[in-house]
Structure 1
């Protein structure tokens, strides 16, 4: 395994909103100013604070760019529905606005779907990609019809509990009530219109054809107990992406970056060490 770039002493934090494609995209850019940039993509019904626990480890060696997808967090909520192509184009426009040429990208769930778009369509902008708890084809559109209908009827409160049950194992629910409460607040703070806009993109997911076009370093991660983006789905993804690595995070469900934070950070950093050595950035 290659060594990670050393931690420079100069650290700068920045944030704000950039106007891209009719949306104001909120971001935070933190970490050593001369380190490689690592961009993080959120799950549906989450904002950039879902990475708070990972920032100390990842930010030692990378300049970390977190952002809220349109309809989430502090970003604006243009009328939907949205597409995965649009969400990926938002990410590239944000990089353009910040004058960032190339990034390593880690995406969880919806963020992993966007990451597939980025790696396949913008290979000159993506140094490496981590696809976590995600898939390339929608096998259960009826389930998304039900969730979207529930949100239209009752807002985010209607799906909050079921979402947390899918995202985390029963053990985590028992062991980490404060962490669960913070995630619940994040879900409930999501605007229904933003949820519905992005959920429509997930419902229409059909990206199998993109996978062979992902040519750079790629790590596919799955939670051992993820009932949605299962380890079997992750294995299938990895098999269809040239040279991709596969890793299953023990004891985690759908958000391993939160549920098994240390294990997630360690595996991602090990992959990024090799990727930075291979790409030179």
Structure 2
């Protein structure tokens, strides 16, 4: 897989589809990687440029010493898009990826023309909750967080499926320092004021079974952005691109069509 060699960081990414097509950029959830989008990319219309990447501390990207600030994660996305010469993208972010999307849209409206905010909010959980998880993962590793995290993320049927068990293994394999450092970025972030200033086209998607960012939290975030729309996917958890890929892809494609991005 290609690497973007930024001045102080290498980011692992994939740039697929039509090189000259309208760009769609995907940012994944904490503790996962760019593979959460595997099932939906084949369902995207032909002619799009589809870019996804691993956050710092995840997948094939570098893991600098933490903790990280959310500003650094936003800057990573900004520099990756500069590296790839991307303008006017639709940015699709899940969980922490959705927080990055909000911050980047405020900073670089030349790079971002629309948002798809999935299972995210302006503020997620509390600093105390995140510090407890940071302490736990640094003391005992990812395995202690795996089952509680998956219980919040996915309905039981998906957790017990072969794919659910695979993602348990992938979560356990996540770099503990990368997880802890990105968790610190979430703990220190509250985008309420800045997100409320946004006016670009936005689709917010929530899963009815999401225990990390419940639907009402996602809906409240959508309501901050003038002209946004909210969609609930029944039966989906925190990462609907994994447990409800067809429904998630359909929502995304409908939104892209509605804003003429295709």
Q: 1:160 aligns with which of 146, 155, 161?
A: 146
Distance change in 2, residues 1:112/1:260 (3 Å): same
Q: 2:183 aligns with which of 199, 202, 210?
A: 199
How many angstroms apart in 1 are the aligned matches of 2:30 and 2:70? 12
What SS does the aligned partner of 1:267 have?
A: helix
Deviation beyond 3 Å, 4+ runs, structure 1: none
How many angstroms apart in 2 are the aligned matches of 1:128 and 1:207? 17
**237-246 vs 181-190, greater mean Cα deviation:** 181-190
> Which residue of the partner structure matches residue 230 of structure 2?
246
Matched, 1:112 2:98: yes
Matched, 1:223 2:207: yes
Alpha-carbon deviations, 1:201-232, whole Å to 9, x = none?
11112110111222211001111121221111
What SS does the aligned partner of 1:53 have?
A: coil
Q: 2:70 aligns with which of 69, 73, 84?
A: 84
Q: 1:29 aligns with which of 12, 15, 19?
A: 15
Tell me if structure 2 keeps the 8 A contact 1:16–1:26: yes
Q: CA deviation at 1:186?
A: 1.8
How many angstroms apart in 2 are the aligned matches of 1:192 and 1:59? 36
Tell me if structure 2 keeps the 8 A contact 1:16–1:27: yes
> Which residue of the partner structure matches residue 40 of structure 1?
26
Tell me if structure 2 keeps the 8 A contact 1:54–1:261: yes
Matched, 1:94 2:80: yes
- Number of equivalent positions: 262
> Which residue of the partner structure matches residue 123 of structure 2?
137
Q: CA deviation at 1:139?
A: 4.0
Q: CA deviation at 1:48?
A: 0.7
Matched, 1:185 2:169: yes
Give the CA RMSD over aligned residues: 1.5
> Which residue of the partner structure matches residue 57 of structure 1?
43
**240-249 vs 31-40, greater mean Cα deviation:** 31-40
How many angstroms apart in 1 are the aligned matches of 2:59 and 2:212? 24
Unpaired runs of 5+ residues, structure 2, are none
Q: CA deviation at 1:147?
A: 1.2
> Which residue of the partner structure matches residue 272 of structure 1?
256
How many angstroms apart in 1 are the aligned matches of 2:21 and 2:170? 30
Q: CA deviation at 1:59?
A: 5.7
Distance change in 2, residues 1:163/1:150 (3 Å): same
What SS does the aligned partner of 2:74 have?
A: helix
Q: CA deviation at 1:33?
A: 2.4
How many angstroms apart in 2 are the aligned matches of 1:31 and 1:231? 32
Alpha-carbon deviations, 1:60-107, whole Å to 9, x = none?
342110100101000001111111111111011011111222311100
> Which residue of the partner structure matches residue 127 of structure 1?
113
Distance change in 2, residues 1:139/1:193 (3 Å): closer
**238-247 vs 206-215, greater mean Cα deviation:** 206-215
